[in-house]
Every structure is written in structure tokens, then in C-alpha cells.
């Protein structure tokens, strides 16, 4: 889990968001009201960082969704392999068929196995769950949460 969540990109994303998007006056006003650091973080800073958390969650989810190598390390039953592993196996089988068929024909007409159409179908199958989930997460990417919080 730390391998995917704590990357340099995620650390810079969170640091820049907190440094540039959350006004220091909000933290000062909470301290004047008597809030402790833990309360300021949980009640003020964490709710304002929801767009950043949603972005990191989306990127981490995409990394896990597209990771087909990790299941080879941990899953021993081939019936439990994820969809991405199945898709890469299909693609490898098509490449093997294409090479072996061309090697057998050797000089005769070159037949075209459906490599590109299968590849595009696999891309649609692979991205379909992401397309279904993204509209529900999209509302958290709105940046204007902080804009009305302070009087200028």
C-alpha cells in the first residue's frame, strides 16, 4: 500500500495543495478560537483537501486496476487472476498465433489475424469500470471550495 500511496507525485500534490490553496488565516482563526492542531487538521484542513484526496484515490485506483504483474506474485489459483491478467494472456496468445501462422505460411499470402480489433476491444473492456466509477467521483474535483471561505 505505501508503494502506491506515498509516491513523489502524491507527496508534491498534497504539499502544494496545502501550501497554495488553504489560506493561513483559516488556521489562525481556528487557533484563536481555541482549536488544537488535531482538531484543525480533522475539521478544517482534511475536508478542504477532498479534491486532492479524490485525485490521489483515482490515480491509485487506476494503478491497481492496471497492475497485472502483482497478482502473479500473490495469487496461486489461475481462476482468481484479475481481468487485466486475462487480457494480457489473450494478447500474448494472439501474438503467438500471428507469429506461428506467418512462420508456417512463409512466402505465401500474409493473413491478418484480428490483432488490432481484439486490442481495441480489450481496451474498452479494461476502461469500462473506470468510466462507470468516474462520474460519481467527478464532483470532488471541483476546486472552488475555499474561494468563498474568507472575506477579502
Using one digit for the tens of pLDDT, what is the confidence trace for 36-82? 999 999 998 888 888 888 888 888 888 888 887 887 888 888 788 88
Task: Please report whether residue 103 resides in a domain.
Answer: no
Number of domains in the chain: 1
Closest CA to 55 of 23, 15, 14: 14
Q: In a 3-state reduction of DSSP, which class is residue 7?
A: coil
Task: Please report whether residue 6 resides in a domain.
Answer: yes
Task: Please report whether residue 131 resides in a domain.
Answer: no
Task: Please report whether residue 21 resides in a domain.
Answer: yes
Across the chain, mean pLDDT equals 77
Residues 21, 48 contacting (CB under 8 angstroms)? yes
Task: Please report whether residue 118 resides in a domain.
Answer: no
Read off the pLDDT of residues 94-122 as tens digits, 9 standing for 90 and up: 777 766 655 555 555 555 556 677 778 88
What domain range is 18 assigned to? 1-66+141-152
More confident residue, 31 or 98: 31
Task: Please report whether residue 83 resides in a domain.
Answer: no
Task: Please report whether residue 22 resides in a domain.
Answer: yes
Rounded CA gap, 71 and 89, in Å? 13
Q: Going by C-beta distance under 8 Å and a sequence separation of 6 or more, which residues neighbour residue 91?
A: 118, 119, 122
Q: Is 47 exposed, middle or buried (0-12, 13-18, 19+ CB in 10 A)?
A: exposed
Residues 140, 50 contacting (CB under 8 angstroms)? yes
pTM (two decimals): 0.67
Task: Please report whether residue 130 resides in a domain.
Answer: no
Amino acid at each position: 500500500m505505501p508503494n502506491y500511496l506515498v509516491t513523489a507525485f502524491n507527496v508534491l500534490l498534497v504539499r502544494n495543495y496545502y501550501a497554495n490553496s488553504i489560506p493561513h488565516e483559516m488556521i489562525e482563526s481556528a487557533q484563536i478560537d481555541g482549536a488544537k492542531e488535531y482538531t484543525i487538521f480533522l475539521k478544517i484542513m482534511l475536508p478542504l483537501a477532498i479534491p486532492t484526496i479524490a485525485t490521489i484515490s483515482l490515480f491509485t485506483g487506476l494503478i491497481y486496476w492496471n497492475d497485472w504483474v502483482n497478482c502473479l506474485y500473490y495469487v496461486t489459483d489461475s481462476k482468481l487472476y484479475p481481468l487485466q491478467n486475462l487480457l494480457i494472456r489473450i494478447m500474448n496468445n494472439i501474438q503467438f498465433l500471428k507469429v506461428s501462422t506467418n512462420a508456417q505460411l512463409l512466402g505465401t499470402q500474409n493473413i491478418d489475424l484480428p490483432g488490432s480489433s481484439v486490442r481495441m476491444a480489450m481496451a474498452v473492456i479494461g476502461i469500462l469500470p473506470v468510466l462507470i466509477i468516474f462520474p460519481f467521483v467527478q464532483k470532488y474535483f471541483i476546486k472552488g471550495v475555499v474561494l468563498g471561505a474568507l472575506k477579502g
